[in-house]
Structure formats: C-alpha cells, structure tokens
A and B are shown apart, each in its own frame.
Chain A
C-alpha cells in the first residue's frame, strides 16, 4: 500500500553559510553597478545641453562607481576573513587543488559533460572543478587586479599622500603610466562581464540538467542531490 506512493529521497548538505550567500548577492550587485558605470566612464552618454550647473551626470556616474567600488573592496576583504573562519566550502574561492590529479580528471569530465560527451555530470558538494577554476581566476585574482588598479586610479584624485596613494600609488609607475592602468582596468571589465554571462548561464543550465541544486543552494545554503547514485 504505502510502497505504491512514489517517493523521491533527496540528500541535502549545508554548503554555503549565510555570510557567503549574502556576500554573493551583494558582490553580484556591486559588480553589475561597477561594470555599467565603468563602461559609461569610458564611453560617456551623449552630451547634455543647457548650463553646466544644471547637470552632474558624470559626477553621479563616477560617484556610483566609487560607492560600488568600496562595497566590492570591503566585501572582498570580508570574504577573505570568512574564508578563515567559515566552513571548508568557504575556502574554495582562495585555494585551487591544481596539484591533485583528481581535480584535473574531473575538470576534463566536466568539460566533456558540457560538450555532450558524457551522459551524466559528477556530483559535487562544493564547486565543480570548472566553476572552481574560473571563480578563483576571475573573481579572486581578477577582483584583486580590479581593486588594485581601481584604487591606483582613485588615488589620482584623492591626491598624493592620501591613504589610497600610500597603498596603491606605486601601481601607476610600475605598470607604466596612468593611461596604461586605465587600459588594463578597462580590459578587466570585459573579462568579468564574459565570466558573469557564462556563470549565470551555467548556473541556470546545471540547476536543470545536473544531478544537484545550484541556484536554490546560493539562496538557502542547502545543496540537494537529485539521486543517490555516487
């Protein structure tokens, strides 16, 4: 009788602690604002007519950029702190087990899965190796590059002797000159934009096609597995 009711058993693991989840969405929002305002700093909207005193368009765009930049930078520092005190999965963003054969084997498996060459993806409690690799490269390393180049440019307006200048002023002569730093900062935006496109697509796709939950995991923290096979 009871056996006739079809049952689906789901294993669930608590993966992303609340601070990581909050950080994820705050960070996503700040990057969105930074990319849009940053693009507009490089290619401003069409000229406004009237008196200069009637408008403050570039001023506002730049203010938003700098406000989001502080959120991004403080969030980054907080995320480092949380990696120290949080669970194992909170450390993934800052460590890449590239010395393990298994990591590379699973990476190839994941790539083959995306190329429709595998019937099934593997299950992962934390990130899959492909996501892991990209997150470390683009968010951790890329984010750091954006913060360092961004604050070096910011130091140009806060002036010599400001803390931004003391901490990041060396970047400009090291890279070459101000124009070069802007150029790399600008390239960085496109790298991050392409990552975000792929990230959002794969998050949705894998939520549907893989054997585990993804989007709800980044909301509730719990990873659900759709089957009990290894």
Chain B
C-alpha cells in the first residue's frame, strides 16, 4: 500500500484533472498568504516530491477536528488533500480495521522511518494508567509515543491536542495531557481551535507536504499565517469597539445594528485564530458575524476561564473564586470607610491629648 509515488501521481490516480490540480495550487498559495508565484512552486513540488505519508491518530477527543477537516470549504481542496495524505491510518476514515489497521501503522513506521508526519487529534489521559483511552487493547499514550518516535514532525490538531480542551478542564479527572507535554523530542505544531477551521487545517498540512518544512511558528508553536493575530485585530465590528458602540443586552438596538460584542463577554481581544478573516463553512460566517461573542475556543484552558459572557472574568487561584471588579470595589469601599473612621478617631484622640497637655501645663 505504501508507495514512493509523487503527490501528483496519487491525485491523477484519484481522478483529479490537471486543471483542477493547478487551480488547487493557486488556491492554496492564496490561503497561505503567499505570492501568486508560489502556485507554480507548489505545483512543482507536488509533481516531483515523493508523497509524504500522514498518520492520523485519535486519542481522547470528540472527532470534531475530523468533521471540520472533511468539510474543507472548497470541494477541490478537500479531494486533493484527502487523496494527498490518503490517510494511511485514520481510525475514523480508513477502510481497514482491527489487526489489519494496526499492521498499516507498523508498516508505515518501518518503511518511512523519520519521514512521515504524525497528526494527532485528541490527547492521552495519564491518570489510572491511561485506561480512559484504550486503543487496540493498550493505552493511547503507548501508541502515541511509539508512532511519534519515528516521525518527522507532529501536528497537534485542535485544542485537545494543543492545550487539553474540555477533557482537561478543572478538575481534569483523567489527567488528559496535551501532546507537547508527552512528546518532547519532536517539533509539535499546534493548530488549536474547537475545532480548527478546515482551511487552516488543509493549509497547514499542504504547506508542510509541499515545502517539506515546518510553517513559521509563534512562541507557542502555532503557525503564524493563521494564528499571528487576534480575532479582535481583524474583526469587522472593530470600528464599533473603537467608537464605543456596544451591544448591552442580547435584544437591544445595538445587537440589531451589529455593534461590538465586548460587553457581552466577547473573547476576541484575547483569542488568536483566523475566524475573522477565513471564517467558517466556505467563508459564510463566523460567531461574531452571527451576533455572538467569540468564546476563545483556540486559547489555552478556555473552559476554565469562567463565564463566556463576562469580560472581566472570575479568578480561581488558591481555591478562591473572585471577580477583580467586585472585590476591588468592595475593598476600595471598605478601605474608604475605614479611613473615614480612623480620621474621626484620630481627630478625637488629638483633641483629648491636647486637652491633657494643656491641663498638665496649667498644673505646672
């Protein structure tokens, strides 16, 4: 099954015309924010480079990343990418099952040692010897570590693999752990989101396969072309933010006029993702465009950051739950009252002391 065909050959075999292939190359160059001349380079790379296999493992997850991926906006992109990576191993999409499937994993590891890409959806739970996620009779952690040992690079799909996501939310009973914390000797590219946008996923994987290198990453390992800026930096409601025009409640005039959702708890100012430019479902819309604030789904531990509908969120530290503004106003208020009381007491004390001093003087 594994072969040394080029990507182009695989695509042709899948019935994709040359015209469609070239169109795909231009689209990809555009999605990656590259100059049009790159379309030719992508085409050339795909015609000449031997196909790099991609193994797609699933740990503790909900499969929303796969669901997003196979709905890649452009049907062409979807076909091409699917045939390109051909998903030699993917629990959800492959035809093989049982021992046959495990055999594929083994074969790719042997044959493409150090040359395949490992895509991980979900994460390994470490508590109770990993029994919360068993694959082929063994804890997922073992499968992950074995396959990662011989790969070229790891792609951590979605917030689960990147940060832990919902299964790692406090108190994280299964100790679900993000991939970069268990795989330390390979580059881990984080593509967070719950799920990540389909075009972002196909864009990242195409970049890696065609250019045979990692995309430029930020400090935390996220591809810059999609995660270099916040939702807020590119949001089309931003002029209303700057003007001071906010939705104050869900059914008010501001909501109808499409004002900024900051006061409704929009996390756009603290969230790095491409939603406000790439958007969802073939570029149709994204949450803010539909009138709901961003919930920060691509940010670390976003489930634990309290209400989706408050801007100044509660703090959970040392087991204390507190809201900065509520505590701050209460503290300033009580300190103010204490100052008042202390001032009065000081004045009384001073007159008393003075009286006593005068009294003493007179007695002398």
Chain A residues close to B by CB (< 8 Å): 42-49, 52-59, 61, 114, 116, 119, 156-157, 159-160, 169-170, 173, 176-180, 182-183, 186-187, 189-190, 193-194, 197-198, 201, 205, 208-209
CB neighbours (8 Å) of B353 from chain A are 119
CB neighbours (8 Å) of A208 from chain B are 350
Q: Which of B218, B270, B325 contacts A43 (CB 8 A)?
A: B325
CB neighbours (8 Å) of A49 from chain B are 245
Closest to B314 in A: A183
Flag if A46 contacts B301 (CB, 8 Å). Answer: no
Q: State the Cβ distance, B147 to closest chain A Cβ, in Å.
A: 27
Q: Which of A48, A183, A194 contacts B243 (CB 8 A)?
A: A48
Flag if B219 contacts A193 (CB, 8 Å). Answer: no
Flag if A52 contacts B243 (CB, 8 Å). Answer: yes
Flag if A55 contacts B244 (CB, 8 Å). Answer: yes
Closest to B218 in A: A160
Q: Which of B219, B228, B244, B350 contacts A209 (CB 8 A)?
A: B350
Q: Which of A56, A173, A179 contacts B220 (CB 8 A)?
A: A173
| Assembly CA distance A47 to B229 (angstroms) | 26
Choose among B242, B254, B325, B335 the residue with the greatest number of A CB atoms under 10 Å from its CB. Answer: B242
Flag if A59 contacts B220 (CB, 8 Å). Answer: no
Closest to B260 in A: A58
Flag if B312 contacts A42 (CB, 8 Å). Answer: yes
Q: State the Cβ distance, A183 to closest chain B Cβ, in Å.
A: 6
Flag if B301 contacts A194 (CB, 8 Å). Answer: no
What would 25 A/B residue contacts be, using CB atoms closer than 8 Å?
Answer: A43-B311, A43-B312, A45-B244, A46-B248, A47-B254, A47-B259, A49-B245, A52-B243, A54-B243, A55-B245, A56-B242, A159-B228, A160-B218, A160-B224, A173-B219, A173-B220, A177-B299, A180-B305, A182-B270, A183-B312, A183-B315, A186-B312, A193-B332, A197-B332, A197-B335
Interface string of B100-133 (1 = CB under 8 A from A): 0000000000000000000000000000000000
Flag if A48 contacts B245 (CB, 8 Å). Answer: yes
CB neighbours (8 Å) of B218 from chain A are 160
Q: Which of B233, B246, B336 contacts A44 (CB 8 A)?
A: B246
Given the interface contacts A42-B312, A194-B335, does A47 sit within 8 Å of B244 by beta carbon?
Answer: yes
Q: Which of A57, A180, A190 contacts B332 (CB 8 A)?
A: A190
